[in-house]
A and B are shown apart, each in its own frame.
Chain A
Amino acid sequence: MRAFATAAEMFPRRSGTGGAVRRIVAASTEIRVRRGVAALSLFLLFWYVAVSLKGWLGIDVPWVGRLPSPGSVFAAWLGLIGDPGYWQSAYLSFMRVMIGFLAAMLVGIPVGLAAAINRYFYDVFYPSFEILRPIPPLAWVPLSLIFWPTQEMSIASVTFLGAFYTIVINVISGARSIDVRLIRAAQSMGATRWHLFWKVVLPATLPSIVTGAAVGMGITWEVVVAAEMISTGGHAGGGGLGFFIWNSYVGGSLQQIVVGMISIGIAGYVSSALIRLLGHALMPWLRLR
């Protein structure tokens, strides 16, 4: 389920020659980091050139040419670093993502597992789930604003929905695709239903849970920003990076819009990376394959 192939995977199992293989792996990791840095630099260069072409040669590059230059965005970001409002926005969005995401994990994992192993629960639960699932979380914004007493709760509940469906679907499909031989082997060794659940179904589903979490995390960032834009910000229950971007748009600061966008990108990348790291720590057997 890993999102990317580990360097060790490119080499045969059992690093028999020890040091040599490890050195190659380390070197290849370094190469891959350099590739990433080079690609990012190229991206920035392309952005810079596209924006500057009008000034240099009078060529108006469509779409990209209208962006603020990377330098001015960086300057805007430097100006915002000392601004507690910017950090407050990032903090608010981050907290909303975390609350929605953790609630979705807390509810989604048991519900998914129950649906996967209990036919009755599945029959009762799944039809409603499948009808509700295609409704975009953002379509819930008006109702949730009416339903919840505070705006904070409305945003959190919409974020929750963003991750919830993905997590449940992943858990169900993961728990259902367990190799029947593993179940049978455990049964032969005297496993009770309790043992089967805790010692076979759960560890076997773990990779799917982590995948669901990583994808769900991405969706919560998408949802939280959109929810913040729709909800009125500024006072209690408002704010966040979504509102920050909207506010910058209303205020006409192109640079700040881009700063807000990049901030979300980085925050989402870091959150997903954290989940992947946690997944690696929980599932050492996948790393070593």
Chain B
Amino acid sequence: MHRRGAARAGEGRAHVVLSRVAKGFGFDAAREEVVADLDFEIPPGQLTALVGPSGCGKTTIANLVAGYETPDQGEIRLDGAPIRAAGSERMLVFQESALFPWLTTYRNLTFGPLLRRTKPVAEIHAEAKRLLQLVGLSAFADKYPAQLSGGMQRRAELARAMMMEPRLMIMDEPFRGLDAMTRELMQLSFLRLFDTFRRTNLFITSEIEEAILLADRLVLLSNRPARVRAVISIELPRPREIGMLSSRQAFDYKRQALEILHDEALRGFVRGGDV
């Protein structure tokens, strides 16, 4: 029998440390360093938001932590063990939908667990139904991804990742491209999910307000090659609400972060980089 309680308390909370990570693409003259000398920590059970100018290498960092890419230098350790390949203890939720178009929402959720069968099939189905309900997609269990709206697809993908009971969730701008209203609803529903499971989360975004609303810590990145410019602890109480964004505290965080990012954006602009 699977120890669900234990899974939630301890196993779902990986501690990830990136030390002196560097990654570049191409060779010789075409060589471009995307990430250089990157040091930061993703504390267990916390949501760490990675914020940086667009094109600064955030997605590369996500791919490195997910294990889809390997660092050229330095290393990434998850609870002390170096990350070398993709693994089911780390789930990445992609920028655009990576749901299997040929599977219904429900079958997308059960895909991973049914491959590995690490727990009884009946339990997998029960979990799928529970998660679908949690993200408000019970009525869409038998629809194909193409029949879902953008927001629904992201929620389905979130639920699919949760099905794997990962110790680390990596979310690469998961709400990008949604309209403002849907985005706000998604943020709230995601906060509820996060508070329920408290899985260690690396949340990548280019929206400062989103980062402040969701995160325990902001890691602000420089222009390419990405380095850590500053780390800001967000002390807003949980559970979070949208209203908190208009508090004095949130405003200070925002100003602080904006100053640093604005500085970076300007520098990138002067250099002719992708801002």
Contact = CB atoms under 8 A, between A and B. Distances in A.
A182 B98 contact: yes
A120 to B, nearest CB: 22
Interface string B103-125: 10000000110011000000000
Interface in B180-196: none
Contact of A190 (B68, B103, B115, B143): B115
B128 to A, nearest CB: 13
Interface string A177-220: 00101101111111100010001100110100000000000000
SS class of chain B's interface: helix, strand, loop or mixed?
Answer: loop
A188 B66 contact: yes
B98 A285 contact: no
B91 interface: yes
Contact of A188 (B90, B102, B144): B90
B147 A14 contact: yes
Contacts of A206: 102
Contacts of A181: 94, 96, 98
B33 to A, nearest CB: 22
Contacts of B101: 285
Contacts of A289: 146-147
A186 B87 CA distance: 10
B100 A189 contact: no
B115 A184 contact: no
B164 interface: yes
A72 B28 CA distance: 75
Contacts of A283: 102
B100 A200 contact: yes
B245 interface: no
B67 to A, nearest CB: 8
Nearest to A180: B68
B115 A195 contact: yes
A189 B90 CA distance: 9
A288 interface: yes
Contacts of B256: none
Nearest to B102: A203
Contacts of B92: 184-185, 188
B86 interface: yes
B40 to A, nearest CB: 22
Interface in A275-289: 283-285, 288-289
Contact of B144 (A187, A191, A200, A284): A284
Contacts, number: 68
Interface in A149-203: 179, 181-182, 184-191, 195, 199-200, 203
Nearest to B85: A187
A203 B100 contact: yes
B115 A285 contact: no
B249 interface: no
A200 B90 CA distance: 20
B181 to A, nearest CB: 18
Interface residues of A, number: 24
Contacts of B90: 188
A13 interface: yes
Interface string B127-138: 000000000000
A184 B86 contact: yes
A159 B146 CA distance: 37
B146 A179 contact: no
Interface in B33-87: 66, 68, 86-87
A187 B102 contact: no
Nearest to B87: A188
B88 interface: yes
A188 B96 CA distance: 16
Contact of B88 (A14, A190, A203, A284): A190
A190 B112 contact: yes
B68 A184 contact: yes
**B88, B90, B98 interface centre (most CB from chain A within 10 Å):** B98
Contacts of B146: 13, 285, 288-289
B147 A189 contact: no
Nearest to A283: B102
Nearest to B67: A188
**A13, A184, A189, A200 interface centre (most CB from chain B within 10 Å):** A189
A15 to B, nearest CB: 10
A190 B100 CA distance: 15
12 contacts: A13-B147, A181-B94, A181-B98, A184-B68, A188-B87, A188-B90, A189-B111, A189-B112, A189-B164, A190-B164, A191-B112, A206-B102
Given A13-B147, A14-B147, A288-B143, 20 more contacts: A13-B146, A13-B149, A182-B98, A184-B86, A184-B92, A185-B94, A185-B100, A187-B86, A188-B87, A189-B112, A189-B164, A191-B112, A199-B115, A203-B102, A206-B102, A285-B101, A285-B103, A285-B145, A288-B146, A288-B147
Interface of A: 13-14, 179, 181-182, 184-191, 195, 199-200, 203-204, 206, 283-285, 288-289
Interface of B: 66, 68, 86-88, 90-92, 94, 96, 98, 100-103, 111-112, 115-116, 143-147, 149, 164
